[in-house]
Amino acid sequence: MKGCVACGLAATRKNTVFARGNPASDLCFVGEGPGADEDAQGQPFVGKSGQLLDKMIAALGYHRDDVYICNVVKCRPPNNRNPEPDEIAACEPFLKAQLASLQPKVIVGLGKFATQTLLRDQTSITRLRGQWREYQGIPLMPTFHPAYLLRQPEEKRLAWLDLQEVMKRFGKKG
Ligand code: SF4
């Protein structure tokens, strides 16, 4: 994937950003795409929102390296704009291959864009969150993106309810 030029995002990226964490994990988090920090380091969720995601993962009883974390698109859209449909279509085979190889028991969709893209459903994230759905036959729990939670900390309470649903799936108590 490193040298991929299948869409226009190849022209402006510094690094492709494949994934981080445990490729044998039962739990997979999927976000939208790399930001500036991720593009610079070639790792997903390494900036401030990554630190909050690590706290969310710790609240589930895992270390950040225990779970698998990736994005819908693997290269940074310029100025953090949303990826275009043709870019998503070009990159989706990588995500499908990742998930087919990983075979997670649960996917957590991080934020409106990743969740709407995975589910092909334009319903708002405030309505999607907290309700179990499926992607490629895998249970998917939509919740808010950590970057949104940094801007709207009062919504962390709802994100915690979503994570508790995930914990229940794994037989853990919240
Ligand atoms: Fe290739 Fe995906 Fe990067 Fe586009 S976003 S260049 S499809 S790796």
Per residue, what are the HEC states of 45-70?
CCCHHHHHHHHHHHHCCCCHHHCEEE
Atom 4 (ligand 1) nearest CA = 7
Q: What's the pLDDT at 171?
A: 86
Q: What's the pLDDT at 154?
A: 97
Give the C-alpha separation, 143 to 125, whole Å: 7
Task: Give the distance (Å) from ligand 1 centre to CA of residue 80.
Answer: 15
Q: Does 174 have pLDDT greater than 80?
A: no
Q: How confident is the model at residue 1 (pLDDT cuts 50, 70, 90)?
A: confident
Q: What's the pLDDT at 24?
A: 94
Task: Give the distance (Å) from ligand 1 centre to CA of residue 117.
Answer: 16
- Three-state secondary structure call for residue 109: strand
Ligand 1 atom closest to Cα of residue 4: 1
Q: How far is CA 121 from CA 3, 112, 114, 115, 124, in A?
A: 31, 10, 10, 8, 9
Q: What is the pTM of this model?
A: 0.95
The residue ranking higher by pLDDT, 100 or 2, is: 100
Q: How confident is the model at residue 20 (pLDDT cuts 50, 70, 90)?
A: very high
Ligand 1 atom closest to Cα of residue 83: 5
Q: What is the pLDDT of residues 30-81, one digit of tens each?
A: 999 999 999 999 999 998 999 999 999 999 999 999 999 999 999 999 998 9
Q: How far is CA 30 from CA 33, 96, 138, 170, 173, in A?
A: 9, 12, 13, 18, 23
Which tokens belong to 73?
Answer: 């698109």
Which residues, judged by CB distance below 6 Å to any ligand atom, belong to the binding site of ligand 1? 1, 4-7, 9-10, 16, 73-75, 87, 90-91
Measure the N-to-C terminal CA separation of the chain; round to a whole number of Å.
38
Q: Does 172 have pLDDT greater than 90?
A: no
Q: What is the pLDDT of residues 126-170, one digit of tens each?
A: 999 999 999 989 999 999 999 999 999 999 999 999 999 999 999
Give the C-alpha separation, 47 to 116, whole Å: 23
Task: Give the distance (Å) from ligand 1 centre to CA of residue 104.
Answer: 23
Q: What's the pLDDT at 156?
A: 96
Q: Is 97 left (phi over 0), alpha (psi -120 to 50) or beta?
A: alpha
Pairing, β 106-110 against β 138-143: parallel
